[in-house]
Structure 1
Amino acid sequence: MTNTVNKHSNFLNLFMPMFSGIGKDEYGQKSQIYKPLSFDRLTEGRPVRSNAPIFGLPVELINEILKHVPDRSLSHFALVSWTCCQLARSRQFVSVKFDFSNRTLAIASKLARESLERKNTGKTKQPALGTCIRRISVATNPEWISHRHDFDLQSLADLDPDLKEQKLKRASSEYYDLYLPSLEAIISQGLPHLEAIHWCDTVPMSKSLFTAFVNSQVRELTLLRVFIEEEFTIERSDVSNEQLKIKWPLRHLKLEIRATAFLPNRVSSEPLCKSLLSLCAPTLTHLNWSMGIGQSQLSFEDIDPGQQPIFSALRELRLYSLVLTDNSIPLALMPRTQCRLHTLCVDGRAGPLDAFFQERGTISSLQHLSLSWLSEAEYPLNGYYTFLRTNPQLTKLDLSGPLAAGFIDKRVVPLLKTFNRLKSLCLKWQNQLLQDEFIGSIDERSLHEVGQLSSLEQLHLSTGVQIGWRHNWIIDHEALIKHFSSLSHLKLLAFSRDTYDLEVPEFDADSYYEDKWTNRQIAALTHGRHALTSDEVWEMEHQDRMLTQATKYFADFRKLEWLYFGQLPMIPTGKSRKARPAAKGGRDDCYTYLNTTFGWPYEGS
């Protein structure tokens, strides 16, 4: 049992935002859309008690008609009958986000009652809300904690210790003793058609909660930055007898799990990870596995040969910041025979893996390879290079992180001429020391060789500092246009972390986006009836400069459909192919969009 101090410290994690090191990231954001259940599954075998003509139609037509009922009309439609209510709820509650709001607490309360009824009688008396839900996310909004318990981090720090203890005890008890157990019961019994769980609350996860996951029929499970306070495994004996007859149908797993830092002796998450992966290995198609800094080492070596998990269905694999003691885990995930991986993403800190890749050889099914944070100072890179050289069939290559200039310029770029099927390429160079100063730069010879890869349809280049306000790659667009003139099939082109030298005394190009220096020496301009601030003037000037330059790219690359530099996504318009912003939001780091388009394509449910 967690002591009071640890419990309160863990609870306060819910107030902590995650530092990303990036700025605005809104462009191209898309949420996965889950379709409502078909009418026949919603009724759970109950006879339809309605004279409405619609219910005399085939199920397929009922489903199609419901799509055309406006959202604003669903609440009225639900009042017609229980059957109509269930149809309306199948749209309204297909995906539910538990953010600790009054609304979601009320939903949780109803689902908990339904769960108890199912447990006692096997089904609910009335059509159940839980039947309609296909996806849930658990992402507590700290503002609701503040609203309900009248404190935030700042006000809490200023309180008398006794009052602080009292408020924390009341708030954490509501969360740990009431809220989490209700969610556990709901997942175990109350959601018969649940397909996806997205868990974002950074709180201790109990064995019983993981057992609830395994008991469910979820196909997608995302656990973000969760942790445990005791070592445990999830054995098949923990699963109900009925569930033993059915394989856990999990297909997508994103696992970010670690031990809490508040315990004097850190516990290992290895037993849990091994048992969890063993249970889902037969059906798993996507695995995204990462660990926290300071985690225990991982291995499958101590598993009996006959009990080793076999990942025969695995198609996409990402390993991030794992500490591996041997090659048993990568061998299980990427076996030498019958490996059907399509996409592989490896972080250089998930190692040492260099020796494994030195011997692994060709994975004939592999189409997309992403390698990041490879450092010759920490590990040799001969194995990674050998693996890359033996897989020239790749259509998509992402080398980001960034990587040492010598590794890219002298080894990777010359090798790429043998990659005849390559359609997508992302390269990021590390800072280079020049005259006692770190700068972002790309060797002209490398640019020329990249420009000879005529099969490319999309290209993303970057160099220099990759997070924060500083941008030290002074980009030369004229040189880039010249080097890439042979890339006649380019459709998408991106340059990120670029900056511009205005050649003005005392102007520092590194802080181009931070200082927002404008050559119009007035504080504001009158534009229509609205006065523009100096920042707004700078944004207009910057956008004009970028669009002027982008129009040159669109004129020279006739198939180019999308372009990104100067933190601005742009597209061509009309026969003249004049550039315009791709969205109304202005500048955007486009981190998610760039990563999804040029790098790792899967980020969980």
Structure 2
Amino acid sequence: MQTETDGLDGHRMLLLLEQESSEPSKCVAKPLPFERLIAGIAFKSPARLLDLPFDILDEIFNYVPHRSLPSFALTSRACCRLARGRQFTNITLDYSPNSWSLAHSLLSEANLAQDPGTHRACLPSIGPAVRQLTIRSAKGYMQQYHKISVLEPRGISKDKLKEITERYQRYIRTIQLVLANSLPNIDTIIWADRLYINDTAYQAFLHSRAQHLILNGIEGDTRINAPACTTVWPLRTLHLAMADVSIEFHGSQTEVIWNTVIRLSAPYLEALTWVTGRDCTNNLGFAVRRTTFPALRRLHLAGLDLEHASVYESLMSTDSRIRWLGVQQTCIGHYLSQCGTLSSLESVTWFAQPAEADEDLLSYLGSNTHLKELYIRKPLPNELLDKNLLPLLGSRFGSLTSLFLVGAGEVFEESSLELVGKIRTLELLHLSAGDQEYSFQWTVTHDAIRHHLSPLTNLKKLLFSRDIRTMPSVSSPDDDDDDDDDDDASFLDSDGDTSSMNFGENPNTDLDAIIAAVALGAMLAPIHGPDAADQPQQNQEQDDDHSVDTDASDGSIDWDFTATSRRPFSVTGSGIERSSLSRLLQRMRDGKVEEEAQAYFSAFETLEMVYIGRQAFDRGYEHVTGMLWQNKRWADLEDLLPSMMRRLDV
């Protein structure tokens, strides 16, 4: 085993063990049509069903549950071949025993196919059915097999670390051989593990037939034997996320990535995401030969800091055909302010950028007033919005249909809302305010928003994110009426709990009165605990519809809700089970949120969908709103509007 040549040493193994687990990719490949899967193979079956045309069989198998495919495969060889065409379309190798077994089976199939003196395997091959391969090693399996603690990898002994490194290297080498030899119909490769791209790994990717390549946490070896300049790599999608190698990032590695991967795929590349380490200072001083990207439509650059503009000029020349551009934490703004008009560009997403780049953004927008979509996903000060950006959008952008803006303050100012209302072409509007990381700061004044946005007669979708809502307090019968405590309303984030608020040691102290009143009025089971008094058993035959009324003179709101659960609250002293509390308060809040949604549908005749407090509503039949999603998190907006919420956490 050539560990030194393969480039994986103990230090890189520790970095792999310390790597944060990435979220599973939502990318799913479509299965290969049966006609292509069995091309050149004699396919006969006594079952009349399987004599149907292949396009009809494809449609039928779209409705066969995945869990039923193993049983169907046991029926006959013909059924096994069809089942495997769907069963192994998308596979994930996660370092489990099953992953090891599957990788060796795929490699054995390739060896049998290449040996003319060996009879082919009795069962239909798995390799031709694989369309997407994901390599995401689960730390749980590594911990279970090697008897280590992945929470403290630095405490692993040198001998144990050497053993882990050698076994993981055998595992990776097997996968690389599979990529190069066993998957003739592979379409997508997603490598989520930290990866050191040496010559072996590079040749495996190059000789695979994948058209979509996603690599996260990579390092480039300067000793890679790149093919001749005439070689073309027919990649259509390329996602490169460079690892945080060191504070002083070496430009030679990025130069290798450009020359050996990006430039070779230039004739076919349709989408490129290029991300460097978040903590790296990478003033790269290399200049590249001018390369054209005739098929490039989507470009996302994050973290790049290039001294020479030759890379930018190759990717974004005046004759390029880019339609979507994403810019994040990079010094490309100065180049954009001078590059002029990109006539093919339709959509721009401006992620987190330094404040000094705001002028570059304004200059770039002034040269590209033909944009249809603009998503500025960084908080902008009110002065910049009111004096520069919004007047520019309202006066010169005649085709802008989608807009996402974030106000830097705790609220989105009404002066800015009034200017947004002058962009009459808007069909989709997404507003947010305050910190975009963890806390929820924006208390939305919906009446003011409906007033200022009333001129938007073409508005179809309206979204609010990072918003909070104020819930009224519910006083227990024993509380004094003259209590002047300012905490009579508890601020809830969009989860329906108080996780983003600071209430000291006990975050639920101010909600005890709510729990006591609702537990009695909502027919919930009595509170139990060592300090709780015995409560009478509730009559299970009474009506389930209840209301909790408060005095409207102090700004409180009447809440009507249906008690759908009799699960008791778990109380130990003053600690309340947060999950039960969250569910209760969420039910109380839903009614008010739906009223706000209905008010928006009444105010905007063209409105089709509104998203408030992580709940989405559509107009429904007869102008009655119907809830589509409830309690959805921020990241799930990508499912709701995939063309808009293209998010990359770097």
Matched, 1:145 2:170: no
Q: Tell me what 1:171 maps to.
A: 164
CA distance in 2, matches of 1:502, 1:39: 56
State the number of aligned residues. 562
Q: 1:577 to 1:195 in 2, by over 3 A?
A: same
1:350 aligned residue: 330
Choose from 88, 101, 116 the match for 2:111: 116
User: Shift of residue 279 of structure 1?
Assistant: 0.7
Quote the residue 1:250 is aligned against.
Answer: 235
Contact residue 462 and residue 609 of structure 2 kept, 8 A:
yes
Superposed CA offset, 1:180-235 (max 9, x none)? 0011001111100001011111243333112211111211111122334x324452
Unpaired segments ≥5 residues, structure 2: 473-484, 502-507, 525-562, 570-579
Q: C-alpha displacement at 1:406, in angstroms?
A: 2.9
Q: Per-residue displacement from partner, 1:393-418 (whole Å, max 9, x unpaired)?
A: 21111111223433332211001122
Question: 1:462-495 CA deviation, whole Å, 9 max, x = no partner?
Answer: 1211112x32222211111111112232222111
Q: Please name the residue that 1:425 is paired with.
A: 403
Who is 2:310 aligned against?
Answer: 328
Instruction: Report % sequence identity.
Output: 26
One-letter code aligned to 1:496: S
Whether the 8 Å CA contact 2:340–2:364 is kept in 1: the answer is yes
| Map 1:462-501 → 2, pairs under 5 A | 462-468=432-438, 470-501=439-470
Whether the 8 Å contact between 1:447 and 1:480 is mirrored in structure 2 is yes
With over 3 angstroms needed to count, the CA separation of the structure-2 counterparts of 1:299 and 1:559, relative to structure 1, is: farther
Q: Is the 8 A contact 1:101 1:144 kept in 2?
A: yes
SS of the aligned residue for 1:272 comes to helix
Match for 2:258: what amino acid? C
458, 470, 474: which one aligns with 2:428:
458
Measure the CA separation in 1 of the matches of 2:646 and 2:269. 17
| Aligned partner (choices 191, 196, 210) of residue 204 of structure 1 | 196
**Distance between the aligned counterparts of 1:36 and 1:124, measured in 2?**
27
Q: Deviations over 1:416-448 (max 9, x none)?
A: 1222221110011224xxxxxxxx233322211
Distance 1:74 1:442, change over 3 A: closer
- Given candidates 273, 278, 283, the residue that maps to 1:297 is 283
CA contact (8 A) 1:299 1:325 kept: yes
SS at match of 1:91: helix
* Cα distance in 2 between the residues matched to 1:335 and 1:98: 40
Aligned position for 2:273: 288
Larger Rg: 1 or 2?
A: 2
Contact persistence 2:431–2:465 (CA under 8 A): yes
In 1: Cα distance, 2:204 partner to 2:325 partner: 30
Asked if the contact 1:225/1:258 (under 8 Å) is kept, the reply is yes
Deviations 1:441-463 (A, max 9, x none): 33322211111222211111112
Question: How far 1:543 moved relative to its partner?
Answer: 2.8
Contact 2:248/2:280 (CA < 8 Å) preserved in 1?
no
In the alignment, structure 1 residue 236 sits paired with structure 2 residue 227: yes
Q: Secondary structure at the match of 1:569?
A: strand
Report the Cα offset of residue 109 of structure 1.
1.2
Residues in 2 aligned to 1:393 and 1:138: alpha-carbon distance in whole angstroms: 41
Alignment CA distance shift 1:74-1:12 (3 Å): closer
Contact 2:273/2:300 (8 A) holds in 1: yes
How far residue 61 of structure 1 moved from its aligned partner, in angstroms, is 3.7
2:340 pairs with 361, 365, 372, which one? 361
Distance 1:155 1:598 in 2: 40
SS of corresponding position for 1:480: helix
Q: Structure 1: how far apart are the matches of 2:208 and 2:635?
A: 35
Q: CA deviation at 1:277?
A: 0.6
User: Contact between 2:17 and 2:153, CA under 8 Å: does it hold in 1?
Assistant: no
The answer to whether structure 1 residue 45 and structure 2 residue 49 are counterparts is no
**Is the 1:288–1:318 contact (alpha carbons within 8 Å) kept by the matching residues of 2?**
yes
> CA offsets, 1:81-115, max 9 Å, x none?
43331211000001111112222221111011123
| Segment of structure 1 superposing worse, 59-68 or 499-508 | 499-508
Is contact 1:270–1:296 with CA below 8 Å preserved after alignment?
no
Alignment match, 2:556? none
Which of 370, 385, 395 is the matching residue for 1:408? 385
Please name the residue that 2:177 is paired with.
185
CA separation of 1:294 and 1:72: change in aligned 2, threshold 3 A? closer
Tell me how far 1:135 sits from its aligned partner: 0.6
Superposition deviation, residue 363 in structure 1? 1.5
Q: RCO higher in 1 or 2 (8 Å CA, sep ≥ 6)?
A: 1
Aligned to 1:575: 622
1:136 aligned onto 2:129: no
RMSD value, Cα = 3.3
| Cα distance change on mapping 1:155 and 1:214 into 2, 3 Å | closer
Confirm whether residue 565 of structure 1 aligns to residue 637 of structure 2. Answer: no
1:518–1:540 distance in 2 versus 1, CA, 3 Å = farther
